[in-house]
Amino acid sequence: MLEKEKIALLWLIRQRPQGVSAYALMDMIKAYNGGFLDLPVALGVFEYTTSLERGIQRHVEELLALGLLTTPDKAPFSFDAKLSVTPLLGRIQDIFQISLTESLKRTDAALTVEPLFGKPMARVGSQPWPRLFVAMPFRDDLRPVFDDHILKVAAALGVTCARGDHFSTTNSIMQEIYSAIVHADLLIADCTGKNANVFYELGMAHMLGKRAILIAQSRDDFPFDVAHLRSILYATTPPGMAQFETLLEKTIRTELSL
């Protein structure tokens, strides 16, 4: 497997179809400074192990030797020579279904698994999956929490939102819920009453690497396993729900960087 630094360099060079010099690469790396994909985390290792210049040269020379990069007229490496990716990179990505972007996002904690539910559904009917998925008990007394408050906050933020009973495809409800969690950017889990289904869906979200906001009417609704996670307590009174909306909006903004 290629080192993350090499993957990041390939990603950067591919952004410049007309080619880019190693000197320009160094400027691009420094300019990101915590930007897209936090690339300096992947590339900043050069600053600690060796100079950025020497690190770039070593990785580029190895990528040239592998045939993943090329220079005009296949000239030897120099800091002024324009570098570009070769068709070989695209062929390898197509054959093995490799994404440079997704590879950069992966951390050492990433796992490769084959879910019991199989491949998630691409869409729910003709609509894309919502950015916010809400796991909560389907109880009449909790319905206003979703209809009158969570949806209100989501609409104000311009974020699509749904819960499990919103989907109406011919697939099983668990296949729909699983697919919704896979595609969601954020999960809201109402733990009120310690509903088993809610915690099952929360566990799915955690194993998929999804962020979650826990809400409940009592601190006792949060079992020990999740008590340390970010949570919002709410009271079903007009002042209590007004405060809930404020806290929920602030938390969603933070989690989704809105």
DSSP string, 187-223: EEEE-TT--HHHHHHHHHHHHTT-EEEEEESSGGGS-
Question: For helices 4-14 and 52-66, what crossing angle results, to 10°?
Answer: 80
The tens digit of pLDDT for each residue in 53-76 reads: 888 888 899 999 999 999 998 888
> What are the backbone dihedrals phi and psi of residue 118, each rounded to the nearest 5 degrees, phi first?
75, -155
Please, which contacts does 165-168 make with residues 24 or more away whose CB atoms are closer than 8 Å? 165/138, 167/124, 168/125
pLDDT category of residue 200 using cuts at 50, 70 and 90: very high
**Structure tokens, 78:** 């120099």
d(CA 33, CA 97): 29
**Structure tokens, 85:** 């990716």
Q: Longest C-alpha distance within the chain, in Å?
A: 73
The predicted pLDDT at position 39 comes to: 53
Q: What does the mean pLDDT of the chain come to? A: 86
d(CA 204, CA 171): 18
Which amino acid, one-letter code, is at 143? R
- Between residues 103 and 61, the one the model is more confident about: 61
The predicted pLDDT at position 170 comes to: 67
d(CA 117, CA 109): 22
**Structure tokens, 8:** 């990041």
The tens digit of pLDDT for each residue in 109-162 reads: 777 788 888 888 887 667 788 999 999 999 999 999 999 999 999 999 999 999
Contacts of 67 (CB under 8 A, 6+ apart): 86, 88
232, containing H or E segment: strand 231-233
**Structure tokens, 55:** 């690190």
Please give the torsion angle defined by the CA atoms of residues 236, 133, 151 and 199, in that order, rounded to the nearest 10 degrees.
Answer: -10
d(CA 151, CA 24): 47
Residue 142, classed as helix, strand or coil, is coil
Whether the predicted pLDDT of 46 surpasses 70: no
pLDDT category of residue 25 using cuts at 50, 70 and 90: confident
Domains of the chain: 4-105 (1.10.10), 132-256 (3.40.50.450)
Question: Would you call 192 exposed, middle or buried from its count of C-beta atoms within 10 A (0-12, 13-18, 19+)?
Answer: buried
